[in-house]
Amino acid sequence: MTLLDTLLESAVKDDTAPGIVVIARDKGGKVNYSKAFSSENGTPYHLDTVMEISSMTKFPTTIAALQLVERGLVTLDEDISPLLPSFAKQGVLTSVAEDGTPTVRERRNPITLRHLITHSSGAGYHFFHEGLGKVRAWQKKGPPTKDSVDDSFDLPLLFEPGEGWEYGSGLDRVGQVVEKLSGLSLEDYTRKNIWEPLGADSSTFFPDLHPSIKARQVPMAYRGDPEGPAVEKPEVPTVATGLKVPYGGHGLFASMPDYFSILYSLLMDDEKLLKKETTAMMFQPQLVPASKQALDQFLETPEMKMQFPSPPNERDYGLGGLLVVGDNHEYWRKGALMWGGAASLNWFIDRSTGVCGIFGAQVLPSDQRMRTLIDAFQADVYRRAGKVVLT
């Protein structure tokens, strides 16, 4: 048993998490690591366990859109307003009164697919942004109906597209673009164009409609006391509960081997999903200086400092995730792409050093205890691959 095995076994034994699944491989054949760890006090976890992956949904949605770019159905930089008329009508928020009444001006810049994918469109989340939260309350809509993306995110933009950065509903809108251009639901499109080419069959936006997938789904766990156990609470609704349509930003359920097959395909550049030139573009910086500055500010918030690597100014955003643009980290190298999900999930692809990996759990909030485990896993992958880990 390795030191990482011991650490993760201890974590499930003391109920830091009910279960954990980790997978990693490299191009050189030194790393081929996949294990599931389970607490004795919760639902058993196996390699094929299905999890609610929250914001990790954004990456396959991005790939779906890039496939349509390759087919010439849309470009990254054309105005997509005709495809999203409800979203396109939104203006830019300039102020919010105490009672939540918004002041909105007409939008000047076009909204493009690149803006939506890189969170530089101005579309925010009302549960992240205080001003949008007030606007949502003023609208007197209460909790989103989840009947449609339009209903859930009928909110003004926070800035002119292309002139800022705000984590938000852009990839939910990208999912709508995929549906409009392909004539398929995002569920059907991703099954035919992402999961089937990879031989993966455990991913869906609607597990209740697939008994074999539902049977392997584990419940979400919650930690009320930072020093206490993570307790499974299947009765507590999550962001994906009750979704009536696919939400490309947070609605997917998947097994970790299914999701890992995406990472490994892009690492190996096997063209099962994307052409080599498209994959290369995903790993290139996409933000203008103003957007990058806003991203750095976002990543320096206490919540995000636990999620992603520092130091500041060595991070940008690629087509699909956070992009490392410097070499002054303990082990990340320039060109590494990564993102995660709220329930203590994380993935990374580092093409410069030839490694990729995924860490899956179902713990809310994703706290420092879980971050320590994720960090240990990622550093161990680099050690196994024989890559230098700075000390």
Q: Which residues lie below 8 Å from residue 387, measured CB to CB, with a gap of 6+?
A: 331, 333, 353, 355
Mean pLDDT of 247-269: 98
Q: Beta partners for 350?
A: 355
Higher per-residue pLDDT: 311 or 380: 380
Of 338, 143, 170, which Cα lies nearest the Cα of 239? 143
Q: In this predicted structure, what is the pLDDT of residue 391?
A: 52
Q: What is the pLDDT of residue 279?
A: 98
Please tell me the pTM assigned to this model.
Answer: 0.96
State the pLDDT confidence band at 313, using cuts at 50, 70 and 90. confident
Catalytic residue chosen out of the listed positions 33, 45, 125, 167? 167
Q: Which of 55, 203, 255, 366 is catalytic?
A: 55
**Known catalytic membership, residue 55:** yes
pLDDT at 143: 63
Cis previous bond, 311, omega within 30: yes
Which residue, among 39, 348, 8, 97, has the nearest Cα to 218 in the 3D structure? 39
Q: Look at residue 217 in the predicted model and tell me its pLDDT.
A: 98
State residue 328's pLDDT score.
84
Q: Give the pLDDT confidence of 149-183 residue by residue, as tens digits.
A: 999 999 999 999 999 999 999 999 999 999 999 99
* Sheet (strand 322-324) strand order: 32-38, 19-26, 355-360, 345-350, 337-341, 322-324, 315-317
In the chain the domains, ranked by start, together with CATH numbers, are 3-56+200-384 (3.40.710.10), 68-182 (no CATH)
Instruction: Give me the catalytic one of 38, 58, 169, 259.
Output: 58
Question: So what's the pLDDT on residue 303?
Answer: 75
